[in-house]
Amino acid sequence: MLTPIFEPHTHMVSRVTDDYERMAAAGIRVVLEPAFWLGQPRTNVGSFIDYFDTLIGWERYRAAQFGIHHVCTFALNPREANDQRVREEVLQLLPRYLEKGGVVGVGELGLDEMTPTEDRVFEAQVELARQHRLPLLVHTPHRNKKQGFLRCLDLLRAANFPLERVLLDHGNEETIELTMGTGVLQGFSIYPNTKMDPPRMVALLKKYGVERISINSACDWGISDPLSVPKTVTLMQAAGFSAEAIHQLVWRNPVDFFAQSGRCSETEWLTPTEKAPLSATGTTVVRGGGPDSEGCC
Amino acid sequence: MDWVQAFAIAAPDIAALRAEVAAVQNSAALDVRFPGLPRRVGRSCAPAGEVRLQHGSADRGRWRLCDVAALMLIEKCGGAAKAQALYDHGDRDERLMAARALLHLADAAMLRSFLSMLQTSNDQALFEAGFLDAAHPAALLDDAAWNRFLLKAAFIGLPLERIYGWEARANATLVQMLLDLKAERMAAGRDVWAGTERVVAAVR
Ligand SMILES: [Zn+2]
């Protein structure tokens, strides 16, 4: 029996439809797409507006064609937080986007180079999460990772933000020692080369269990694998993990965490998406839509 | 216009709509309140019947409570340009609300250009909201735009019954387009649009 999978960190705008097809076949029911940078700096706020609109518009629609629910989080990412060309205007944009349907958190905020400006933008967005009653999806630095985790925890505690409403992402064998028992949901990105790989992840799960842990692919335009969560599940099965433990790791933990947003529910996520477009009343499926109706070109 | 009356909104829902209108005093506040309208007032539809809009009547039973709330709010804070901006930066629910508001708030030129943008939409729900169940397309579109609309409706299989004024606007060019589509579909062994013969008969 295939467990449903909630994949809590994907950048689907950079993936092709084959990926959606394979993800759906592997049991992925929900993808969460946190707003992040696009590989190179944006030079004006308009690029953010169009990117945000794409996530709630076309990308959500595209995912639904493959039976996958697409939810997202919005934030000013830590890399571009350092860029004065966009910083203030993007922060001003967020209240409006954080109220959208299907927006289940503030993210990826976080730290990258750990500059004072990143701290300030981090704090401002923690405040936004409080105002809009949303959980946080926090990106941690690739370099100087342990210090980055400690700094994030300091900032969150100083802001008195409830840690059960924080997903601290991109962890590894070292950072879990810092986050165990803090109450945060500990995220691990299974990303070839730079982060974790499936065998390392399974070894870590053997040692620490699945409590307050969540795994994701963080798939994007880099060398990454949108199937790394189901592949890890296969390795877990081979290693003798129970179906319950696997279900908790890849469904229960992320579902409970993001349901804290109050914007979506497990029942909704277990209901198949309408593969053909909804009619205007949202109740009946009309004929003729879907990927083979008109196409884009 | 008293929209609550025009859409025959049921008593228990009226308070929710009035509360939304009272909560928003300006365009900036509307930006933040707008996405949550479906969550707060709901998506259930108004009772069947006709409502008079600026460019002709429409089936009010296709309008959801949040659509009516959106019309009231946008009329209060910003008008047609605001509706267009909300459409441009909205998700599907927001776009449906903003599109319906535009059907009433936009002048003829603006509504024509909005429809020509919707004509290319990949999202069928948005296309339906702009073109079906209302009299404005037949009133506003020239023959070329009207024929493009009908051909797309046929192509994606929308019911002819939901196209207001189709009989009066049938024309020889459109018939040729539909017959070409029919031939293409038959050659491919696919279904032919159910409305084809009736449009053809209307021109004969
Ligand atoms: Zn990411």
d(CA A294, CA B157): 12
d(CA A79, CA A41): 8
Minimal-distance CA residue of chain A relative to B35: A100
Asked if A99 lies within 8 A of B35 by C-beta distance, the reply is yes
- pLDDT value at position A279? 39
CB contact at 8 A, A273 and A26: no
Tens digit of each residue's pLDDT (9 = 90 or more) over A64-99: 999 999 999 999 999 999 999 999 999 999 999 999
- pLDDT value at position A272? 86
d(CA B153, CA B193): 9
- pLDDT(A185) > 60: yes
Q: How far is B128 from chain A (nearest CA, A)?
A: 7
Asked if A101 lies within 8 A of B156 by C-beta distance, the reply is no
- The H or E element spanning position B32 is helix B27-33
Beta bridge partners of A138: A109, A168
Tens digit of each residue's pLDDT (9 = 90 or more) over A208-228: 999 999 999 999 999 999 999
Mean pLDDT of chain B: 96
- pLDDT(B74) > 60: yes
- pLDDT(A292) > 70: no
- pLDDT value at position A191? 86
Q: Which of B44, B66, B92 to mutate to test the interface with A (most CBs of A within 10 A)?
A: B92
Q: Domain map of chain B by residue range?
A: 1-140, 142-204
* Mean pLDDT of the A28-41 span: 95
Say how many C-beta atoms besides its own lie within 10 A of residue A92's C-beta. Answer: 10
Q: Which of A53, A275, A286, A296 to mutate to test the interface with B (most CBs of B within 10 A)?
A: A286
- pLDDT value at position A195? 72
Q: Which CATH number fits domain A5-293: 3.40.50.2300, 3.20.20.140, 3.30.2130.10, 3.50.50.60?
A: 3.20.20.140
- pLDDT value at position A289? 41
Burial B64-76 (b: 16+ CB within 10 A, else e): bbbbbbbbbbbbb
pLDDT confidence tier of residue A281, bands split at 50, 70 and 90:
very low
**Which chain B positions have a beta carbon within 8 Å of A60's beta carbon?**
91-92
pLDDT confidence tier of residue A273, bands split at 50, 70 and 90:
confident
Q: What percent of chain A has pLDDT over 70?
A: 92
Ligand 1 mean position, distance from CA A108 (Å): 7
pLDDT confidence tier of residue A283, bands split at 50, 70 and 90:
very low
Q: What percent of chain A has pLDDT over 90?
A: 86
- pLDDT(A234) > 50: yes
pLDDT confidence tier of residue A1, bands split at 50, 70 and 90:
low
The token pair at A213 is: 């842990």
Backbone angles phi, psi at A166, to 5 degrees: -125, 125
* Mean pLDDT of the A144-167 span: 96
- pLDDT(A293) > 70: no
d(CA B4, CA B11): 9
- pLDDT value at position A159? 98
Helix/strand/coil for A174: coil
d(CA A105, CA B55): 41
Q: How far is B172 from chain A (nearest CA, A)?
A: 25
* Mean pLDDT of the A155-167 span: 98
Closest Cα partner for B202 from B176, B172, B170?
B170
Beta strands in chain A (DSSP E): 5-7, 28-34, 69-74, 103-110, 136-139, 166-168, 185-189, 213-216
pLDDT confidence tier of residue A288, bands split at 50, 70 and 90:
very low
